[in-house]
Every structure is written in C-alpha cells, then in structure tokens.
Chain A
Amino acid sequence: RKEVEQDPGPFNVPEGATVAFNCTYSNSASQSFFWYRQDCRKEPKLLMSVYSSGNEDGRFTAQLNRASQYISLLIRDSKLSDSATYLCAINTNAGKSTFGDGTTLTVKP
C-alpha cells in the first residue's frame, strides 16, 4: 500500500461545478499537508497548505481529518483554467514531502 493515495480520476466537470478530491495517508505521525497543482509537462506549484482547522483561498477550500487520515480539496465554481493535475503532499519528517500520484481534473465549457 502506498503511503499517500489519491483517486487518479479523471474528473470531468462542467464550468461552474463544484468538485472535491480526497487524499489518504498511512503515517499517523504526518505533520504537514499540502496541495500542489501541476500543469501538463510543467513543475508542481504549491496551491495551498492544509491546516488543522481547515483553510480557504478564494474558490479553494482545504480540510484535514486526522482521525481518518485524509485531506481534501474543494474547488467551487470551476473554471477552464482549473484543468490540471492536483497532487497532495504529506510531510512525515521535517522538510521531506511524500506525494500522491495526483488527480486529473478537466473542466469543460
């Protein structure tokens, strides 16, 4: 079993839809949690950190459930430009991230 698992998708949604991704992790000692966005053939870019109380950045909301060991990313009012692969990353030791394989989102007109 992988340390970090994501539903690979693809998720195909119409513009304006709300879509949510989950990411489960196996190490209960995990300390920090992140979502990255990766466009085709580009490097991952940090989208947002995930805090224990949950956090929001515009149309994006991230949540952490330590008891069930998963994090989630909710995207409201999807835009065409949101089409990308979304990677979750978990830090079990200070500074080193373990990544999931990503969830692919395609937003269609």
Chain B
Amino acid sequence: EPEVTQTPSHQVTQMGQEVILRCVPISNHLYFYWYRQILGQKVEFLVSFYNNEISEKSEIFDDQFSVERPDGSNFTLKIRSTKLEDSAMYFCATTRSLMRAYNEQFFGPGTRLTVL
C-alpha cells in the first residue's frame, strides 16, 4: 500500500541553525500538510499546500517557516533559525483529492526535531 515517507527520522540541531525536513507524498495525492506535535500534546496544523502554493497557514507558521516542492517529488518544510520551542515531532500528511475535508489524511512516520 502506498505510504508517505519522511526523512530524517530524527534531526538534532543547534539553536539558530536552519533545518529542512523532507516528505515524499503519495504519488497521486493533491493536498499536502505539515503538522507539529510537541511531546504528549495535540497535533497542531502548520500549513496546507496545493498546486505549488500555500493554501492556508496557522499562526505557528511564521516567517521562520517555509514550504516548497522543489522537484515535484519532495515536499519540504524549512525552519530558518530554529528555537528551542521548535523541538517537536513534525508530521507530513497528504490527501487524495480536492474534497480534502472529506478525505482521510495519510500521515508519514514523522521527523523528531530536537533543538539544543
């Protein structure tokens, strides 16, 4: 069964450094998402992406965050200057069609980001 993949599984970085988290969506899916989950807490929406544009972003997704799909395959989340509070699990998710509210989201295994 097709699945969303994410790399790396764990990223450790120093505060102030840039990180890029990578996701390979399921091939025929159209909507892509990034979520954040601080340890033991809820799954928080960061951004949705469709047709190479941001569809919506949350208040968490400030100027330090950016997303792109540089090669038509990878879907990346970049954090320009990491802060301690960026430490969390980051999940990529995709949905099949434009009726995204009615489609299940397929989540990747996540990247655990640790900022020291």
A associates with B: no
Interface residues of A (CB under 8 A from B): none
